[in-house]
Structures are given as structure tokens and as C-alpha cells.
Amino acid sequence: MSNQHEEDRAPEARNRADRPSVLIVGGGFGGIAVARALAHVDADITVIDKQNHHVFQPLLYQVATASLSPATISQPIRTILRGQGNCGVVLASASGVDVEGRKLLFEQGDVAYDYLVLAAGASHDYFGHDEWAPIAPGLKTLSDATEIRRRLLLAFEEAEHEGDPTTRRAALTFAVVGGGPTGVELSGAIKEIAGQTLPSEYHNIDTKTTRVLLFEGSDRLLNAFPPQLSERAKRDLESLGVEVRLNARVTEVTEQGIRVGEEFIETNTVFWAAGVRASGLGESLGVPVDRSRRVIVQPDLSIPGHPEVFVIGDMASLTPDGQDHPLPGVAQTAMQMGQFVGKVLKSEIAGRSTPSDRPKFVYKDKGSMAIIGKNRAVAAIGHRRFTGFIAWLLWAFVHIAFLVGFRNRLRVLFNWGVKWLLNSHDARLIVGDTNMHMSKPVGRGFTPKQQDEQ
Amino acid sequence: MSNQHEEDRAPEARNRADRPSVLIVGGGFGGIAVARALAHVDADITVIDKQNHHVFQPLLYQVATASLSPATISQPIRTILRGQGNCGVVLASASGVDVEGRKLLFEQGDVAYDYLVLAAGASHDYFGHDEWAPIAPGLKTLSDATEIRRRLLLAFEEAEHEGDPTTRRAALTFAVVGGGPTGVELSGAIKEIAGQTLPSEYHNIDTKTTRVLLFEGSDRLLNAFPPQLSERAKRDLESLGVEVRLNARVTEVTEQGIRVGEEFIETNTVFWAAGVRASGLGESLGVPVDRSRRVIVQPDLSIPGHPEVFVIGDMASLTPDGQDHPLPGVAQTAMQMGQFVGKVLKSEIAGRSTPSDRPKFVYKDKGSMAIIGKNRAVAAIGHRRFTGFIAWLLWAFVHIAFLVGFRNRLRVLFNWGVKWLLNSHDARLIVGDTNMHMSKPVGRGFTPKQQDEQ
């Protein structure tokens, strides 16, 4: 087998010891952009990720709310990069970096590099209350999304067969913490599924009475957007029936509910879309990080004293000249940073430039958008603002266009078409634990005799 | 809320105490058929299932082999039955039956019934070796399917970065136990994905050298099919490269491999498609069961002495007059039994007949089919036999036609079309634990420097 395999190999793969090794940690928007930019470079490139698949994160909330299947918004990293003979993919979890020794550390051993790109992203931050994590899951991976979907759908099942009115009300109450795009999109979609898709399927409850509360710590939703769009998003959510609470500080999250200021709201289901905490790999570099653990990078996205180490995307903190806050942790930042690093490496590996020639990374803001429900979105592109149906069309167009894989685009279009026409949510699968905690079961057809007898 | 909800209810829902209560345990082919046959009957019907969704089991192996997404072959039971005002759905797991007291037992309490239909299906039988279950998962639920998919895909990742040739060979060896339709379909599909979809994506291994072994205890594959089709299925599988071992008794399954007779084959991945063990609910009825725990039912599918209790599908054992083996545990048996019981109940609830008038259940064999790979299948319909491409077309047509939900049919057609044209498997997601156990990691681009240094 190995003989035959040697013959299959492209000639470029020979003399590997002479070629520089580029390790890219993370197969998200940033990491994939670096790898693609290095397509024809004479180097050994490896993308390392804990998952075998790249996820189109902007549509993750649609998996969480049963509109799309996980496979529709993801693709194996191998498949994305299979055309690149110089690029391997490794399913593994790096534990740290030995910057001086130029080694990436794994449980099984160290791996040397000539260039390292850290693009491992971020997860949520529970503001020092990590004990809230199991109660209030965040939405960063496909597993998170199917877990949120499970809890969301299970809550309605629980309400349907719960005899105690207070407990039933708690099952039909959903709290979303964090008023960024994820929180806005999630709360709008939950209200939509409860109000439009589910009503005809439950006999004991009126799913239209579902309460969805969105808590935001600051004084407006969508902080990274222009204020007028924040205002519009709030109005649109409220007209859908979402209760938006601004300046709301969450002080307690338990199985029974959530405390916001003085008020305790009984709910079985809390979703977390607040705070950012960058991958811990950044800390192992031994250079300054900000309070979200993001690495403070140089203008060329490398770290001080080590031009061979780059940090990009959600792991990087870069404040452009003349501005007072760092670039936002969104897909386009990661992609642009990845393209930039790829271009720099390409030139240096080919010997056309050296680290002292490097340009500064310049971010081009191509706009921001968030969807609020069927036919409604807000978008800021350059100095233009869009709302309502036009913004929604723009949103759909941009998200389809950037989705990886032509087949996935067709699948998503098909699913959105069906959903738009029929208000359906076709991926309503509860997978995993289906145990419910009911105090007093009741249900039409299910327990009438029991009630008569007791 | 409850006031408004009362008004929403259809008039038929009133006076519920006078209406008979029908409990159906299981939302598979049998249970759904009973519920549908009772659509316009004046009764309180409840379908109880551990899962919220019905699964089209004949296509489950395609989820396990990354051709289809879970949501494509399943639908919430609520959605299937939402047009039926007389039918509720409960997500719960029944623990037993009190036949004399006419109660179905749950952890939370008992629920009384007038009629009970047990249609809870079966799982695999490890022939007294339940300790093999975690090593060799079976394929009955969507969770099983995604677990098999995870192990299948992870094995290739492990092989790609395994430096030790023996361990790498074990990672590229797959054993499937049981030569029924599931075993045949699974082994053919694994060989197909390894030989056609994956080769271009791995640099260190040649996935075409993947070994797939299919072990069957008897002297032919597809026991329920005519012998000439068993022979053809074996030939077709072998021409795909699957190693078929007949009269093979598995005597040991460990993390290191599988022992068959004298031989021990090193493999990391064993899938189980042998044996049948009916749901334990049947045993709680206090009537005779066969050695697969199936309840020996009367000719009208009820149990002795209790005309109000029916057992159908994979839980029932019924040997037709003049035959020497019971009806096969396949989808069409369950569906026909469900339709029969639904018709009987409809007539008796309407007062048009009594249990003494009941006809015998007569099974109409509409044929059997199994797919072997792209463009190949075997089918027996009446006295006709089909093989090769024609059988494959028939197979595809029948499976699309019986799939629940028009949208799912379109989705499956689309995915099959793409797969047929491009040999792709688009649902290659590893979700869950991605830890691998490698003895000696190696990988192009990943560890060249490490090798140089050591």
C-alpha cells in the first residue's frame, strides 16, 4: 500500500525537509482563509482543528431553532481544502505553544513549525460564573446548536403535559442573555417557531402565549451597529412579541429561573449569547492579552518579538489607528485577517519580502446585518441603512453567497423557501436525553381516566 | 391563557370522559398506522414514544454513512398527526403494563386505557454478550446512526495520523456483524465511501485499501430473501471489495478486534446488525414470549384473554397458518398490522362489531429489497426477481415513495442526485467525542520537523 501511495504523490511533496512548515490552528473563517491564500505556495501547510468540519457560524442559530440541519451549514475541512496538495488537515486539540522553541504542544507530543497562525476563535464568557454554563448553554458549535434545539423543543413537550399552571408557565418562558446579533436572532426565531409553526400541534397549551425575554446589559441592542438600527431592531422584536430588557444585569441563573436586578423570572430554559472569551491558546504565548483573553497583536497581526507567529480572528485584539475600540469579532474580520496573513506568508516564503517589509493590516468594514424574523432584518452597509423586507432580502442573499459549497447553498435555499411559504421548521429533532421533570402530568387523551379516578 | 385555549378547542373534545381511550406505545411504522386508521374515530387516542420523531428506518444506514442528514429521514410525530384532532402525542417512556388493571405504567404514575396497542419495536441482541454493546453499536435510532457515523469518520482521521503500520491497518479495517439488509447495506456503503468519496482528501493513507468484513452466522446473506438473491448480493458485495464470511460465529469483541472462530481480526471499528430483541414491555404482559422476547399474539394480534390489548410490528410473533416461521420484522409487517388493528378498533368503537367478530390478520408480502451500492440492489417482488440497476431503481423509487413528508422526499432526491453524480457524501460530520487513540502520530506537513529532530 505505501509503495503505491508514494507513486500517487505529486512531485511537489518531495524533499519535504526543505520546505517551511506552516501550522494553522482553527478551521473557521480565519484559518480557512489563510490556507486558501497559500494554495500554490511551496510549503507544508497543516490546518489543525478540534472538529472535522468548518461551520458557517452566522447561520448556527437556524440550526438551534430547527430551521436547518447541521450538515447544511457545515463542511468537512478536508473537503474544503482537498484541491490543495500542499495542505493537510489534522483533527486534534493543541494545548499550548512553546514560542521560543517554535513548537505547538499536544498531549501526544510537540510539533515544530516555521510559521504559526492561531485562529482558534472564542467561546462565551459567563462573567466569572462558569457554574451557569450547564444551565444556560451558549451557541458556538454544532453541538451547542443541537443542544439548544433539544432544550427548546423539550420545553414545549414538558409544558404540554404539565398539570401545574406555574410550572407550565416556566416551561413556556425562554430567557436569552445578550443583545448582540446571536441574541437578537435567537429570540426572534424562538418567538416565530412558537407563534407560527407549533400552535396546531399541541392540544393542551397555546404555544402563542410563549414568553421570550431578551436581556442586554447595555442601553441598546446590537452595540456594533448604528444606534438607529438598534432602535429599529428593538421595535421589530417587540412587534413580534419578544420582551426586550435593556440595562439588564443578570445576577443569578438557576434551574428554576433567572434573576435580573430585583426581579426573579421563573423559566426552565436560558440561552447565553453574551460575553466573549478567546481560546486559552493565546495566553500560552507569553504576550499581553486583553480582559477577554484576546492577544494584543502588532499592526501586521504578529506578536511582539516573534514575526513568525500570527494571531487572527476572535483571538486577536487590534485597535486601528485613531480608533478607540478593537475590531469587532465577526466573520469578516477573521476572513480579512486570514487573507492578509496568507498574502504576507506567500510573499515571504517565496523570498520576495522579509518581515521588515510587512504592511499594516487595514480592515474594510463591509457592513453588518442581523435578521429579526420572517421578512425583517437590519443592515448597515457603508453609510447606508436598510431595514424591514429589503434588509431581509440583503441578509438572505449575502448569507447564501458566503456559505461554503454550492450544494449547501441549494439545500439552504430550498429549506428557506419551504419555511418562508409554509412557516415550517423541518429539523425539529430532539436527540439525546428526553427526560422531563414534570411536577404533575396531565394531557388530553393521555390521562383523562387517571383524573377521573383520583 | 387556559380560557382562550378552551375556546380554541374543537367541539369533539368535550365530554371526554365518555370516549374510549386508546394508548399506542411507539411512533414507528406500526403505531403511526394505527393512529392514522383511527383518524375520524370518536376516541381519545395518544401516541407515546421515547423520541419526539418518527424515523424512516430503511434509510437509517444512509445517515450512518453520511449520505443523508438525520432530519431528512425523520419527522416529529406531532407533525405527522397534527391534522388529527382526536390524537395527542406524549414524549415518555412506559415502564410496563398492568393488564388486569388496564393501566400503562410510567415512572410518574399510571395511565388508564380502554384499548392498548404495543408497537415499541425491537433493538439488537448481542446473544448474551451485552458487554459488546459499547464496542459494537447497532443501528436502530438516529442517535445510533450519528454514533456509527462518528466512529466511521474518526477511524480514517486516526489512520491518517497513525505512524504504526499495524495500528493504521486496524483503523482502516471495519467489521460488520449480521448479514441481513442492514449489514449488507452498511458494509456496501462503507466500502463505497472509502473507495469513491474519501481518496482525494487524505494524504498519508490510501482509503481505497480499507478492509470491510461482513460476518453472517448462517450459510447465506439476506435470509428472508430467495436464495438466488442471497447469492447475487454476496457476489455484488464481493465485487465492491467487501469480504463476506458466511457460517461465521463471532466469539469475542474487544477494543482491539473481533474473534471469529479461530481467527482474530484486528479492527478499531465493529458495527452490529445481528439478532433481534423486542422491547421489554412485552414481558410485562404476563403472556408467552418467544426467545427474542416477542409476544406470541392471537390471529387478531391481541393477547390471550385480553382482546383490548394488541401487540404489533417487531414486538409481535405471529406464525401464519401452514407456515413454520413467524412473519419477518420489517416495515411492511408493522404497517399492515397497524392498519389491521386500526380497522378493528374503528369498527368496535363505533359499535359495529365486537371482539368475537374479528377477522384474522393476513399478511400480504409486497416484496423485499436491499441495496448493495451505487447502481446495484436485489429485489424479490411476488415471484419476480430483480438485480443490478433495475433493482436499484426500484429500490430508490419505493423508498422515496414511502418516505413520510413531501419535503423530505425532495430533500432525499436532491441528496441522492448529488451523490449519484459526484460520489459525494455530504453529511460527514463528526459530532461528539473526537479523541483518538494513536500510538505514534505521523502526518505529512504535520510532523516532518519532529521526525527530523528525533
pLDDT in tens, A220-244: 999 989 999 999 999 999 999 999 9
Task: Check A147, A162, A185, A348 and give the catalytic one.
Answer: A185
ipTM of the complex: 0.81
pLDDT at A13: 43
Read off the pLDDT of residues A278-305 as tens digits, 9 standing for 90 and up.
999 999 999 999 999 999 999 999 999 9
Read off the pLDDT of residues A379-432 as tens digits, 9 standing for 90 and up.
998 889 999 889 888 888 888 887 766 777 877 777 777 777 777 777 788 877
pLDDT at B16: 57
Nearest to A283 by CA among A272, A295, A270, A271: A295
Nearest CB partner across the interface for B445, out of A5, A45, A430: A45
For A430, name the nearest residue in chain B, comparing CA atoms only: B52
d(CA A144, CA A146): 6
Nearest CB partner across the interface for A445, out of B2, B21, B74: B21
pLDDT at B348 over 80: yes
Mean pLDDT confidence for A130-152: 94
pLDDT-derived band at B442, boundaries 50, 70, 90? low
Is A413 near chain B, with CB under 8 Å? Answer: no
Note if B192 is an active site residue. Answer: no
Helix, strand, or coil here: B414? helix
pLDDT-derived band at A339, boundaries 50, 70, 90? very high
pLDDT at B8 over 90: no
Residues in chain B with CB shorter than 8 Å from the CB of A437 are: none
pLDDT at A440 over 80: no
Residues in chain A with CB shorter than 8 Å from the CB of B88 are: 203-204, 443-446
Q: Is B306 left (phi over 0), alpha (psi -120 to 50) or beta?
A: beta
Helix axes B29-37 and B331-349, enclosed angle (nearest 10): 30
Q: Structure pTM?
A: 0.86
| Residues A139 and A61 sit within 8 Å (Cβ to Cβ) | yes
Residue B7 Cα, gap to closest chain A Cα (Å): 11
Task: Check B147, B185, B192, B348 and give the catalytic one.
Answer: B185
Residues 187 through 226 of chain B touching chain A, CB cutoff 8 Å: 200-206, 209
pLDDT at A33 over 90: yes
Nearest CB partner across the interface for A21, out of B9, B431, B445: B445
Is B266 near chain A, with CB under 8 Å? Answer: no
d(CA B113, CA B104): 7
| Residues A96 and A110 sit within 8 Å (Cβ to Cβ) | no
Residues 46 through 105 of chain A touching chain B, CB cutoff 8 Å: 46, 48, 50-53, 69-72, 74-76, 78-79, 82, 86-93
Residue A133 Cα, gap to closest chain B Cα (Å): 18
Mean pLDDT confidence for B329-339: 94
pLDDT at B11: 40
pLDDT-derived band at B14, boundaries 50, 70, 90? very low
Share of chain A above pLDDT 70, in %: 91
How many CB atoms neighbour CB B70 within 10 A?
25
Nearest CB partner across the interface for A88, out of B78, B410, B444: B444
pLDDT at B447 over 50: no
Residue A231 Cα, gap to closest chain B Cα (Å): 30
